[in-house]
Amino acid sequence: MSERKDTPEQAEFREYCRRWLAENRPTPPPFRLPQSPVEVMTEQQRVWLCAWQKKVHQAGLIACDYPREYGGGGHQGFQRIASAELARAGVPYFINVIGLGMAAPTILHHGTEEQKRRYLPPLFSSDEIWCQGFSEPGSGSDLAGAQTFAERRGDQWVINGHKVWTTLAHFASWMILLARSSREHKYDGLTYFIVPIAGAPGVTVRPLVKMTGETGFNEVLFEDLHVPDSLRLDAVGKGWTVAMTTLLYERGAAESPGGGGGESHEDRIAALIELAKHTRRDGRSAWENPVTRDRILKLLIRVEALKQLGRRARVEALTDHPMRLPLQGKLLTTEISQDVAAAALEVEGMSSTLYLRDENAPQGGRWPHAYMNSYGLTIAAGTSEIQRNILGERVLGMAKSK
């Protein structure tokens, strides 16, 4: 069955995707895969996930719409189909999430011909994993406050500084780096680089531990890292513009990490209702507690609203401002995730004290874990507070709050 207004060519491709996925669905590995690619920590996990991504790339379901000379499929409107079919098939995610979601489009828009030919193919195949160096200890929400310094010395740049929250840096060959090349101008003093990570002299990667007790991101220190000028992306002083391109894609990447396997909000709310129906206390189920049920139903309605928001965003006649709905996505997605997890803790009551390793923890302890992780979502890639600024300023046109 084809969908929407697939062209005959697209319908054929969709059919191909389905067939390929049905035939190539991987058997689950004998070890635990974490819930998302940003939590991948072990070498075992890395190897398995890289093999999977490479296989999918070879099958032509990754980078479908990129030119062939950069490792893509050279098609138009195929990625949407491949991504939908990957999601529908529920196969594992792709490990090179930062590369696919952020580095690749940034390089495509701002890179030289040489850069595109050199960096994109191994990115798509996951032969080279990428990470992102934006946040610093002193600049989280205020990205343009970056202090990591790139000093020009002939045709080399010497980089010193400290980046934090760098997902996947422990596996990464390359980083997309926002650095300061001039202290005189805040925004115009930034330049964007591709820098080597694994094995590069002057680079130290240290894992950071989340409040959940898991690792999954890192801090990266640069001490006199020397890179050639050919690793600069776009012009000197244009780093902020390039970073805006990356951020444009970051939200999209966070929502659908380059492939299927992520749990949807609908899955999550269904799991919550299931939990409520099966959690009994004092002679009734949590679902039979009208106050708890009302809270869950409010969330069920918001989850449906979020789904419909996405559907409506694609109907021009029913949107007033082109960015109004898309820019709400990150805020809604992350806050609803948090609220759903919080409601689950209320349902569990005392059992919500039990964590991942406890055999009696309901649904494997996923909810306290999800609740804590939800703060990662409402903080990372622009806190909810910053998202509200952006919506108020870019969509509604109110004065900048700074």
Under 8 Å CB-to-CB from 58, ≥6 apart: which residues? Answer: 125
Q: Which does 402 bind (CB under 5 to 8 A by kind): a second copy, another protein, none?
A: another protein
**Residue 381 pairs with which residues in a beta bridge?**
none
Nearer to another protein, 141 or 230 (CB): 141
Which string of x and - marks every residue 335-364 that binds another protein (by CB under 8 A)? ---x---x--xx--xxxxxxxxxx-xx---
Interface with another protein (CB under 8 A), residue from 331, 344, 363, 370: 331
> CB 290 → a second copy: shortest distance, Å?
4
Q: Which of 119, 165, 174, 240 binds another protein (CB under 8 A)?
A: 165
Residue 283 interacts with a second copy (CB under 8 A)? no
Can you read off the two tokens belonging to residue 97?
């999430």
158 neighbors 150 (Cβ within 8 angstroms): yes
Asked whether position 309 contacts another protein by CB under 8 A, the answer is yes
Contact between residue 295 and residue 339 where contact means Cβ atoms under 8 Å apart: no
Please tell me whether residue 388 binds another protein under the rule CB under 8 A: yes
- Two structure tokens written together for 147: 């202090």
Among positions 25, 112, 208, 274, the unique one binding another protein when judged by CB under 8 A: 208
- The catalytic residue among 250, 266, 335, 393 is 250
Closest distance to another protein from the beta carbon of 198 (Å): 24
Rounded to the nearest whole angstrom, what is the least distance from the CB of residue 27 to another protein in the complex?
A: 27
Spatial separation of the C-alpha atoms in residues 282 and 340, rounded to whole Å: 23
From candidates 26, 145, 228, 364, binder to another protein by CB under 8 A: 145
Please report how close the Cβ of residue 304 comes to another protein at its closest, in angstroms.
6
Instruction: State the minimum distance, in angstroms, from the CB of residue 386 to a second copy.
Output: 17
Using CB under 8 A, pick the residue from 44, 241, 363, 383 that binds another protein. 383
Rounded to 5 degrees, φ, ψ at 354 are -85, 135
Binding of residue 176 to another protein (CB under 8 A): no
- The answer to whether 269 and 305 have CB atoms below 8 angstroms apart is no
The residue within the footprint of another protein, chosen from 59, 84, 198, 395 (CB under 8 A), is 395
Task: Based on the shown chain and the rule CB under 8 A, indicate whether residue 246 belongs to the binding site for a second copy.
Answer: no
User: Position 60: which residue type?
Assistant: G
Return the DSSP state at 103. I
Q: Answer for the pair 118, 287: CB distance below 8 angstroms, yes or no.
A: no
Q: Does residue 250 carry a catalytic annotation?
A: yes
Triad 48, 51, 55: Cα angle to 5°: 140
Token pair of 343 as six digits: 């409601």
Instruction: Look up residue 150 and give its two tokens.
Output: 């790139």
Quick one: DSSP state of residue 331? Answer: H
Whether the Cβ atoms of residue 96 and residue 258 lie closer than 8 Å to each other: yes
Q: Shortest CA distance to 164 belongs to which of 200, 143, 196, 133? A: 133
Is position 308 an interface residue for another protein (rule: CB under 8 A)? yes
Give the total of residues touching another protein (CB under 8 A): 89
> What is the four-CA torsion angle of 8, 14, 15, 17, rounded to 10 degrees?
150
Q: How far is the CB of 402 from a second copy (least distance, A)?
A: 11
Name the residue type at position 5.
K
Residue (267 or 294) nearer to a second copy, CB? 294
Options 35-43, 59-67, 140-148, 176-184: segment touching another protein (CB under 8 A):
140-148
Which of the residues 287 through 326 are near a second copy (CB under 8 A)?
A: 289-291, 294
Catalytic residues: 250
Tell me which residues touch a second copy (CB under 8 A).
289-291, 294
